[in-house]
Amino acid sequence: MSRKSIILTVAIGVLAILGILAFNISSNITRDLNLLTDESNDGQRANIEELVITETRDGQKHWEVYANSAQYDNSKNMAVLTDVKGNFYKEGKVVLSFDAPVATYNAKIKEIILTGGSRAATDNDILITAEEISWTGSKDEITAKKNVKIRRADELYVTSDESSFNTDFTKLKLRGNSLANVYKKN
């Protein structure tokens, strides 16, 4: 093969992969937004600007979610949040921060599902990215699914199909296709 053919093949491959990723992310966002467009609801829907949801445990703030806007459907006890940011707390200090373009909040079971390119960062410089990050209530377990990447500077790089970890990242479980690289610190 000539050099031109190789470059063309690589370019087509990269475009195909980007197209698949864009389709997958847009279908997740569309799925979340379609949760609230069911015509069977009886008008118990509210549009909310600048929403804050807080969960406490033993009288202390456990997590807090900030959303630029939300659509809440009372008949489903669900809200679709947009432009989401938030924090997990331990002993009054932020131990994990997260953001995502879209999230779904199930008020009945207090479940948050971040989608559309979710990111989380710990207070000790560990970055987690995934297509979906979720947790329920005051449990100290967070699950990341689909194209999970965990990185800490030049020391650690992990990929997996799914992982779960606690808020201060002292426990980590990997599931599915996983690869972990640990590098020697200089």
Q: 126-185: per-residue pLDDT in tens?
A: 888 899 999 887 677 889 999 888 888 778 888 888 999 888 788 888 888 888 888 876
Question: What span, in angstroms and rounded, lies between the C-alpha atoms of 103 and 29?
Answer: 9
Q: What is the pTM of this model?
A: 0.71
Q: For position 101, what pLDDT does the model report?
A: 92
Contact in structure between 78 and 35 (CB atoms under 8 Å): yes
Q: For position 41, what pLDDT does the model report?
A: 47
For 3-182, CATH gives 2.60.450.10
Contact in structure between 161 and 177 (CB atoms under 8 Å): yes
pLDDT per residue over 91-142, tens digit each?
A: 889 888 999 999 988 888 888 899 988 988 888 888 888 999 998 876 778 8
Strand, coil or helix: 32: helix
pLDDT over threshold 80, residue 36:
no
Question: What span, in angstroms and rounded, lies between the C-alpha atoms of 79 and 20?
Answer: 27
Q: Give the residue-averaged pLDDT of 68-90.
A: 86
Q: For position 100, what pLDDT does the model report?
A: 92
CA nearest neighbour of 98 among 72, 134, 69:
134
pLDDT over threshold 70, residue 39:
no
More confident residue, 97 or 55: 97
pLDDT over threshold 70, residue 4:
yes
Question: What span, in angstroms and rounded, lies between the C-alpha atoms of 87 and 63?
Answer: 6
For 103, residues 6+ apart whose C-beta sits below 8 A from its C-beta are: 32, 65, 67, 80, 81, 84, 112, 113, 114, 115
